Amino acid sequence: MVVVSWVLALAAVVSGFGVFRLNSMARVTFSLLVSFLAVAGLVLLLGLDYLSAVIVLMMVIEMVVMAVFMIMYMMNPAGLMPMAMYHNKAGAMTISVGTFVLLAAGILLVDWPERRGAPAPDPTFALGRSLMGEQMLTMMTLGITLFATIVATVVLSTGRGRYDRLGDDLDSATADDPLGGGVGR
Amino acid sequence: MTLELFLLSAAGLFAIGLYGALSQQSIVMLMMGLELMLNGVILAAAAFWYFLAPAGTEGQVLIVVVVTAMAIEMAAGFAVATAIYRARQVDMTDGAADLKG
């Protein structure tokens, strides 16, 4: 258990570092995926099997979607032309190393409290009970936020919607399209 | 397995993600940095749940919230990238510095 947790922790950090070191976008995406899978493994080690499975499923799909967008928007998706895509590298490095040192100092210096209580026999059942019980407000907030995201992403990513074509009241007799189409154009 | 090992790896992931989010020019790579930071938060939440307060479910609920936040961040980020690319063919953060004060 101890060895596995060290290996997974190291894998998570090293492959996370690889995300900003590798050249090819495919390798970058899979490096990030390896980092997520290692974290899922650590979460599994801690006894949260359901949440670990959720992380694995979500991240595999998310990275595949990410790869599609990479190819759409990156100037150098295959990494065939090595190029630097950084700005303010020294400043960013200083800030992130400083953040890590600060966090590590806190982690090592704080006198952590004793472990109180034991995990529920079935943590997943306890999570479900709590999401449908005292954490219902959290659950509903998440639901509303996800719905707002659906609306916002569709609005943002639609180039020409029906209001552009048919007017604000949707009562235009013919659609205002740049190119006519269909019969009788 | 100790709390410190888990928290130190979480801090490492958070710092690497922060470096990426600050230093990358491409919008997609910037979002990868944000994802890596949230990855560290997931690990820290799981570790706090297991090592400090396993009797409650707050740690697990926090992981659910963070996983949802990751999904929302990806969806909203790509929608904004699509919108700004469609309007101005911008795919780098430096091309969208209008609000820089």
Q: What is the pLDDT of residues A54-101, one digit of tens each?
A: 999 999 999 888 888 877 776 665 666 666 677 888 889 999 999 999
B17, B61, B68 member nearest A130 (Cβ): B61
What ipTM score was computed for the predicted complex, to two decimals?
0.91
CB contact under 8 A, B14 and A99: yes
Give the residue carrying structure tokens 């005292």: A134
- Which secondary structure element, helix H or strand E, spans residue B78, and what is its range? helix B58-88
What is the least distance, in Å, from the CA of B85 to any CA of chain A? 8
Question: CA-to-CA distance for A165 and B46, rounded, in angstroms?
Answer: 50
Task: Measure CA B75 to chain center.
Answer: 13
Which residues in chain A have Cβ-Cβ distances shorter than 8 Å to B8? 9, 104, 107
Q: What is the pLDDT of residues A104-113, one digit of tens each?
A: 999 999 999 9
Q: Which domains does chain B have, with CATH numbers?
A: 3-91 (1.10.287.3510)
CB contact under 8 A, B32 and A119: no
Question: How many residues does this entry show for chain A?
Answer: 185
B1, B11, B14 member nearest A1 (Cβ): B1
Q: For residues B40-62, give the mean pLDDT.
A: 93
Interchain CB contact of A121 with B (< 8 Å): no
Comparing CA positions, the residue from B38, B51, B66 lying closest to residue B3 is: B51
Q: Which residue has the higher pLDDT, A61 or A167?
A: A61
Give me the residue spans of the domains in chain A.
Answer: 1-78, 128-171
Q: Which of residues 21-40 of A touch B (CB under 8 A)?
A: 28, 32, 35-36, 39
Residue B70's pLDDT band (cuts 50, 70, 90): very high
Residue B15's pLDDT band (cuts 50, 70, 90): very high
B33, B51, B76 member nearest A153 (Cβ): B76
